Amino acid sequence: MKTRILGQGLEVSEIGLGCMGLSYGYGPAIDKQAAIALIRRAYELGITFFDTAEIYGPYLNEEVVGEAIAPFRDKVVVATKFGFNYVDGQPAGLNSKPAYIRQRVEGSLKRLKIETIDLLYQHRIDPEVPIEDVAGVVKDLISEGKVKYFGMSEAGASNIRKAHAIQPVSALQSEYSLWWREPETKTFATLEELGIGFVPFSPLGKGFLTGQIDVNTEFSKNDFRNGIPRFNEENRQANMALVDLVKQIAQQKNATPAQIALAWVNAQKPWIVPIPGTTKIHRLEENAGSVNVTLTPDDLGKIKNALSAIEIIGHRYPESSEKMVDKD
């Protein structure tokens, strides 16, 4: 496992682990000890970049990650996020007021059982709070030793620039994969200009690009894919053309579809570090193996040409979530 640099010197493994699905989003939380074992196996495989957030659970995921990384805390990078308001312990809208950010950071430090958050993201832009104020309080937290690096999630170019002028942004997190390529036209130029790393979540298309999901797949009751337009039955059927393409390339490269999808993401820019998630150790090992798959310029050219002929149907978010994505 090689390493890559995000922003101003944050060195991480070339793929990370998105820990959300262990506790939230894709059905019931898995057994805590199983989740800890999976995170520790990731470390054995060379993964040193672990992504969580207080909203995952809420709170459960940070606790799991904190316990799992305790034996090797100083050898890994932990990223977490703030930005949501809570009522009776459940998320209720956005809140990035400076005093509130401080409160949330203290909670994350306790749950993670760490003294410093390596990478602190604003989870979503709060339209009620100037981004300069958000960057300012993170800058103060960095000077106080409670945070090392500043990140933003689902932020647009304008707010990235404003924040970066106050406190350098090390990473932008957003969705990016073979079936969601909007960052290429919306933010890549800004990131490259400012020297900001990019951390794609859902690089496997929320599981779709693994080839393990088809039109007949049924998701559990509290799996958020039930509400994503791209995953309704009609759209899933239409989008199978992309899966067929990935399977074809995988066969040619003696790899799995998931490994091709991850190798493609990593091949786009040297400052990209995807964070695929999984609840299964054999899938974790498969994902880690993607770093051994090399896509040549010829391979990438063929994929690009094939993608241009495939229309992806359906949006990546339900309307309520889409409203929280910064478009500027």
Which residues are identified as catalytic?
56
Q: CA-CA distance, 315 to 322, in Å (whole number)?
A: 9
Burial class (CB in 10 A: 0-12, 13-18, 19+), 111: buried
Q: CA-CA distance, 299 to 249, in Å (whole number)?
A: 9
Q: CA-CA distance, 33 to 12, in Å (whole number)?
A: 25
Q: Token pair 């957003």 is at which residue? A: 174
Burial 159-168 (b: 16+ CB within 10 A, else e): bbbbbbebbb
Q: CA-CA distance, 215 to 217, in Å (whole number)?
A: 6
Q: Residue 194 to residues 5, 155, 171, 198: CA-CA distances in angstroms?
A: 14, 14, 11, 12
Token code pair at residue 221: 């009751």
Residues 6+ apart with CB under 8 A from 22: 29, 30, 35, 38, 39, 61, 64, 277, 279
Q: CA-CA distance, 314 to 17, in Å (whole number)?
A: 27
Q: CA-CA distance, 289 to 253, in Å (whole number)?
A: 13
